Structure 1
């Protein structure tokens, strides 16, 4: 018999935690993150399971005899974040030197089997370059790493000492640096009858937790002491933050090698690769000086350093633990001259390639780019520990002191842009890049509002970009998290200044205002936004289209190549931004008057131009750009459909082409470009697929939206996969594995689309006015076979909107409760409304339309089919 009363039979909704985004709940003491399982051991290891226990009286014994390897591989079950820590109970060794424990981490299982884990990642200033920590043991006690490891499921502890050596360890884990609140106790929550969909929401929420970085939780990668300068262990060079414009100069400093060697670079600008000098000292005391072009002396998958020259130092008299002086001269196009201890002089050539730098540029075997200007940086190579002190940079020929520091106070950390993070941030990826990029939160921000509700993290990203000052009207697309905003904001540290990144940031500002109602941040950002838009208008041609070339045309999908000229996607983005800005002018604090109409007129102008000039009748779709006429791009057409720029007979054809993007993948998940698109790799992009899903929902293609969601995210949900981390991946191969292997970020904001798509379109909650002052509950996306959905959405009122609905054989029921002071309504979805025989609202027969108002005590809607 059908359930004629339409009584809910849903599981209880878990209660929200009281402090969901704090590192610790209530007054609970610190709890280390411990492994859940011991995957395997090698060599002489006993009682490995004891490392799963918080009981410090239990310990694991690792014994190494001679050259035999001894190690234990630990599984934390899902990706976790924190500072590596161990507790050593006892050491037995006949060696005079310290025993060493190598603590290696990786997100996926394949990476942990590599000598360096799934790293290194030298691109990011301030983040830990290495994915390994070496604990040099000298007795019983705690040993804690300097830096955060942002995302890893796996950790491998091995004994590096030559043996014989026995070490007893009672703790191996992490000090948490991000919230670990169970995702079902977050302010936002989505659950439904389909396990995979519920898991997709939860994995995105966990990804957001790992990337939500509270203020002052990222320790600097350098240690500073008053008498010994800075201590650097295996960290890439970081450059002085206001020296990007320097041309000819000398730099002098004192260095000390403790293990392996040290490194420095000259004429390095922003975060571009530069001239890197690597001084190493081997076990027999032989010193060697190398010139590299790159970030580090060990490769990251996408950043291959190039060894330019190498020479043995025969007269420098460099010894372990002893200070020596280094003097480097950069003058014009002359050779770079380096003097060590005023005894030995070495010369290295400068590069001759003058082309504008690009992250995709290739360097011929016999040359590297010419670097006419840039700052000075110091650091270390892989497995190198060193010190620096007494740095002075002088201009040539004037001798003016450009920078001087003993490098012995914490101020030096701000000098080099690697201090504690002053703001809370929402990072792009927890493992890498660990930067507050703006492009990533165009999806990540929306998902955050429907899960953790940690709005302070999005606000931190916006502030970090708005507060940066530069000559360009464009908005900073990202920057080092260790920036000191009390210093001059006109620095030369890393940033990205492109049209697309500026457009993304404006949309992020709009979403922040739309979901929070916070007009104060909008008021702060508005002058920068309007200046940026005015500059963009200078890039609009006489047809009404943005025409952008050079580095300003860059975008986040660097691996797909640049879209120079008239990019259809960029112009569709511009339409979306202009419409968003028109809406933002209604915010009372802006006192924007009628400027909203101007933005709407500009949007209409560009929309008309896109339809007239970007569509290619020969191919039956829109061009990628006027410089790239071959191929079909998923994201471009998703934006066009969502913004209503594909109409008439064009719409069915475009939707069909979007549906055909999966013909060559393992499970029909869509590629980001058609197979006939030249010069792009076959990649499944979760962020582009999220836009694809929204386009399908806009067009009423429910089956397509569901198919894309399942096919793209199912590989990430496979708990038997060696890549499973309980989080969402940056990008995938056509076979459904992480693209670019260990380089791929397994906890990436790009990929958290389901965490807002499901509560917004399946549960149905979305704002209709800024700050949810008006909202609607409209479960418009029909998932075939879905029986029920329930959840909550946080609001600025401090209380949440709670919704549950269930489908029955005999009808459909939805209930909603919302904070007092908000105006909301329920829209019964078409597939339900079309089958109605009787509708009751709060027990009373309803004869009106499918949109039903929510009263102060909530609403209960029953639709009977029989």
Structure 2
């Protein structure tokens, strides 16, 4: 139940009464009482109560066992107080030892809590729920801050994602190596946590007759004024608790100028853990960048806190005017009284560019906002909004999600990243089989398409996507993400075979491809732009396009678009020829980065040269041999010129390599990655049960607490194990015809079993090796057929299919139904 908090709870805790917790909620599995967080925990029994006391056992550590997400709730049976409690959330345990846990996350509003710490004032027994979603965490701590005690009889999360049984998914994988089974689950759990249904992520604002009721969060910039400079933004605000916050000169999805007006912080509404050094009473706090505190890669510069001459009282309305001239001269008036006039340049802040305005108080603060106006420097009224209509939710990017979507990460990067969906789309089809998530995400991305064919690379939730086309200038960058976006579409279609859906989006995909083809250098026949994968006129991006065109041609065939299919194949052939002529370094024996960087090479160059089919068998083997020079403790660094001493390892790019190595039958590289890079993610000291964004060379998360540890782009083994170790792959879209090509050697496995949900039914395989006998049990849906393809390296003495001898050699034709193939090995 989510309603505007009123009365006593309104004043002290932003707590909302909720219904009884159902058994479908996420519940902690283990706990520990003490005076500080503890990674050593013990089982938490059903119905067990826990008492926290300020003088002893003031902290309880809760371990959910794996990544969960939702609305935190607390069932309290007894209170001696009132008692203030501080609650922390984190993916890795160590976050509980830090002031801000593993946050805050100011990268995007994300329809979730921007902060990983929140405080509550408990005055009476009952069940209470946090207003905000926590996007993803394994660990939680609750600490009593004031004299007294509370008894908890229930703690958990009301889910905002699917509760899935990872041992009974629609598509499955198991084998004789328990670690590989856990590795397969990493990707499955990542998509389970990062993907969710339409309307499951409510707005983080409430629209009332008095204005927008906004709790502490990243300011949501509106879609207006993105190219405006030298304006005055005026609004009225009533502080409910702590302060009110706003931004100016803030582009969507970028940093800007952040401001807080802090109240006089009265004792009756101020939490005891309020940071009065950062947010002193009766002050204006100014910061440039992403937030008020640094969080690894999101640089923030605290300009300072400036006392105001006005006594700022909670519960009273103030009219606040902010003017920023020449990107540097900042002045603020309150009710017509000047309270701040500074040059940001004097504080080392570079001149700010054009941008709009937004609203969002700081951690644990609450404020009402109304009557927003914006005037040009000449006094012309540019904008006016009373902030009392629900239309402001989509304008300021806080509208409930209207589509089923997959985020880039569960706790952070809660945007829809176009290129990163390359892996996610395949993980979905190999695990949860939520095709609606893949289709919803791709539809959402294509809704941002410009007339020239470009698709936004990272649209936020909460906005009307059509309005984003005019303002997301910078989010049509990373041009190679357009290619990865095409590959996300083709990869999903080839596995799902959903022809009706593919037909509905095909014109948009073709426009996107048309834009990419327009960027081919007519002199080199290579792709002329650089990007995430590599350099302009380089191997990785050009080879990725070859792969995209070949797969798009298969889609065109399925849609009876023969003309497009021929065009795509012909173009792929030309680019492939150019790569082999211009980018193969015969002396080094590897495909190089680009025509202008012909002695360096990287993981993506080698991976896409192989997966696209550009590389011959000989050149693929030579390139993979060169990968050894990129080898570090957990995996392979991205580029040969990268400083090995400081490199983090990317499961994203190593995922490209993992699949390519298997396609080239190089199980040694694949095994090294599984046994090191992905095994690191199962270490209980850091594990979230999901795949990570980066891995450091000491096998810890690669960006410290900032690391997203439920990031589907790191989940490649989930589909690679299914498709290359179990061996289930589609030959025609949707697995109407299929191939079972198991990797029966190289991984020290005795048996492997996998199943994939197709539009025709379950396609399953189990193979078992022992006593010079290989047994392969295949169950195929009605209306499908395929081939069991055995490695050419094995010697076959005899083959039986369902007890009958056959003489098929290494490729055995199978029909629908159950087939038991026994192979006597030589």
> Could you tell me the TM-score, scaled by structure 1's length?
0.86
Distance 1:78 1:140, change over 3 A: same
Q: How many residues align?
A: 790
CA distance in structure 1 between the aligned counterparts of 2:456 and 2:115, rounded to whole angstroms: 27
**Which residue does the alignment assign to 1:623?**
592
1:327-365 Cα distance to aligned partner (Å, 9 max, x none): 12345567333211112253343669xxxxxxxxxxxx7
Correspondent of 2:132 among 115, 137, 147: 147
CA distance in structure 2 between the aligned counterparts of 1:625 and 1:714, rounded to whole angstroms: 33
**Which residue does the alignment assign to 2:767?**
805
CA distance in structure 2 between the aligned counterparts of 1:487 and 1:333, rounded to whole angstroms: 25
Distance 1:469 1:222, change over 3 A: same
**Which residue does the alignment assign to 2:677?**
712
CA distance in structure 2 between the aligned counterparts of 1:350 and 1:454, rounded to whole angstroms: 49
1:636-655 Cα distance to aligned partner (Å, 9 max, x none): 21111222333476444322
Distance 1:334 1:740, change over 3 A: closer
Residues 702-851 of structure 1: pairs in structure 2 closer than 5 A: 702-718=667-683, 721-780=684-743, 782-797=745-760, 799-831=761-793, 834-851=794-811
Distance 1:397 1:523, change over 3 A: farther
Partner SS, residue 184 of structure 1: coil
Residues 220-369 of structure 1: pairs in structure 2 closer than 5 A: 220-227=203-210, 229-281=211-263, 283=265, 286-308=281-303, 310-314=305-309, 316-331=310-325, 335-349=329-343, 366-369=348-351
Contact conserved, 1:104 with 1:156, CA < 8 A, in 2? yes
**Which residue does the alignment assign to 1:72?**
60
CA distance in structure 2 between the aligned counterparts of 1:334 and 1:204, rounded to whole angstroms: 46
How far the C-alpha of 1:521 sits from its partner, in A, is: 3.1
1:785-820 Cα distance to aligned partner (Å, 9 max, x none): 2111112110013x2112111112131111111221
Distance 1:858 1:547, change over 3 A: closer
1:300-338 Cα distance to aligned partner (Å, 9 max, x none): 211121123543211x33212211011123455673332
1:558-595 Cα distance to aligned partner (Å, 9 max, x none): xxxxx55333211111111222222221132xx53322
How far the C-alpha of 1:266 sits from its partner, in A, is: 1.3
**Which residue does the alignment assign to 1:52?**
44
Partner SS, residue 75 of structure 2: strand
**Which residue does the alignment assign to 1:210?**
193
**Which residue does the alignment assign to 2:145?**
160
**Which residue does the alignment assign to 2:270?**
none
1:99-136 Cα distance to aligned partner (Å, 9 max, x none): 32211111111111112211111102233211122223
**Which residue does the alignment assign to 1:192?**
175
Contact conserved, 2:604 with 2:638, CA < 8 A, in 1? yes
1:604-628 Cα distance to aligned partner (Å, 9 max, x none): 2222222222334565533334565
**Which residue does the alignment assign to 1:356?**
none
**Which residue does the alignment assign to 1:8?**
none
Contact conserved, 1:418 with 1:480, CA < 8 A, in 2? no
Partner SS, residue 796 of structure 2: coil
2:73 paired with 1:119: no
Contact conserved, 1:216 with 1:423, CA < 8 A, in 2? yes
How far the C-alpha of 1:29 sits from its partner, in A, is: 5.1
- Aligned-residue Cα RMSD (Å) equals 2.8
1:200-256 Cα distance to aligned partner (Å, 9 max, x none): 1122212221122111111222233223x2233321111112432333433211112
Of 412-421 and 843-852, deviating more is 843-852
**Which residue does the alignment assign to 2:73?**
85
CA distance in structure 2 between the aligned counterparts of 1:212 and 1:777, rounded to whole angstroms: 29
Distance 1:223 1:53, change over 3 A: farther
CA distance in structure 1 between the aligned counterparts of 2:782 and 2:249, rounded to whole angstroms: 59
CA distance in structure 2 between the aligned counterparts of 1:627 and 1:856, rounded to whole angstroms: 52
Distance 1:410 1:806, change over 3 A: same
Partner SS, residue 786 of structure 2: strand
Correspondent of 1:37 among 3, 26, 30: 30
Partner SS, residue 695 of structure 1: helix
Partner SS, residue 306 of structure 1: strand
CA distance in structure 1 between the aligned counterparts of 2:589 and 2:636, rounded to whole angstroms: 19
Distance 1:309 1:792, change over 3 A: same
CA distance in structure 1 between the aligned counterparts of 2:243 and 2:598, rounded to whole angstroms: 50
Partner SS, residue 681 of structure 2: helix
**Which residue does the alignment assign to 2:397?**
417
Contact conserved, 1:443 with 1:749, CA < 8 A, in 2? yes
Correspondent of 1:105 among 67, 86, 89: 89
CA distance in structure 2 between the aligned counterparts of 1:333 and 1:298, rounded to whole angstroms: 22
Correspondent of 2:486 among 498, 506, 529: 506
Partner SS, residue 475 of structure 2: coil
CA distance in structure 2 between the aligned counterparts of 1:482 and 1:344, rounded to whole angstroms: 35
Distance 1:100 1:766, change over 3 A: same
Distance 1:170 1:754, change over 3 A: same
**Which residue does the alignment assign to 1:12?**
none
CA distance in structure 2 between the aligned counterparts of 1:781 and 1:79, rounded to whole angstroms: 32
Distance 1:544 1:52, change over 3 A: same
Distance 1:224 1:30, change over 3 A: farther
Residues 290-689 of structure 1: pairs in structure 2 closer than 5 A: 290-308=285-303, 310-314=305-309, 316-331=310-325, 335-349=329-343, 366-371=348-353, 373-397=354-378, 399-402=380-383, 404-470=384-450, 473-484=453-464, 490-492=470-472, 495-546=475-526, 548=528, 553-555=530-532, 563=534, 565-588=536-559, 591-616=560-585, 619-626=588-595, 628=597, 631-647=600-616, 650-662=619-631, 664-665=632-633, 669-674=635-640, 676-677=641-642, 681-689=646-654
Distance 1:282 1:620, change over 3 A: farther
Distance 1:585 1:240, change over 3 A: same
Distance 1:673 1:498, change over 3 A: closer
CA distance in structure 1 between the aligned counterparts of 2:670 and 2:418, rounded to whole angstroms: 26
Of 770-779 and 463-472, deviating more is 463-472
Residues 21-32 of structure 1: pairs in structure 2 closer than 5 A: 30-32=23-25
Contact conserved, 1:536 with 1:546, CA < 8 A, in 2? no
Partner SS, residue 387 of structure 1: strand
Partner SS, residue 442 of structure 1: helix
Of 331-340 and 804-813, deviating more is 331-340
Distance 1:813 1:529, change over 3 A: same
Of 441-450 and 284-293, deviating more is 284-293
CA distance in structure 1 between the aligned counterparts of 2:445 and 2:735, rounded to whole angstroms: 26
Distance 1:535 1:78, change over 3 A: closer
How far the C-alpha of 1:149 sits from its partner, in A, is: 1.5
How far the C-alpha of 1:829 sits from its partner, in A, is: 3.1
**Which residue does the alignment assign to 1:701?**
666
CA distance in structure 1 between the aligned counterparts of 2:706 and 2:37, rounded to whole angstroms: 32
Partner SS, residue 185 of structure 1: coil
Contact conserved, 2:75 with 2:126, CA < 8 A, in 1? yes
Contact conserved, 1:539 with 1:547, CA < 8 A, in 2? yes
Distance 1:132 1:286, change over 3 A: closer
Partner SS, residue 790 of structure 1: strand
**Which residue does the alignment assign to 1:17?**
none
Of 406-415 and 320-329, deviating more is 406-415
1:7-33 Cα distance to aligned partner (Å, 9 max, x none): xxxxxxxxxxxxxxxxxxxxx955332
How far the C-alpha of 1:159 sits from its partner, in A, is: 1.6
Distance 1:142 1:628, change over 3 A: farther
Contact conserved, 2:175 with 2:753, CA < 8 A, in 1? yes
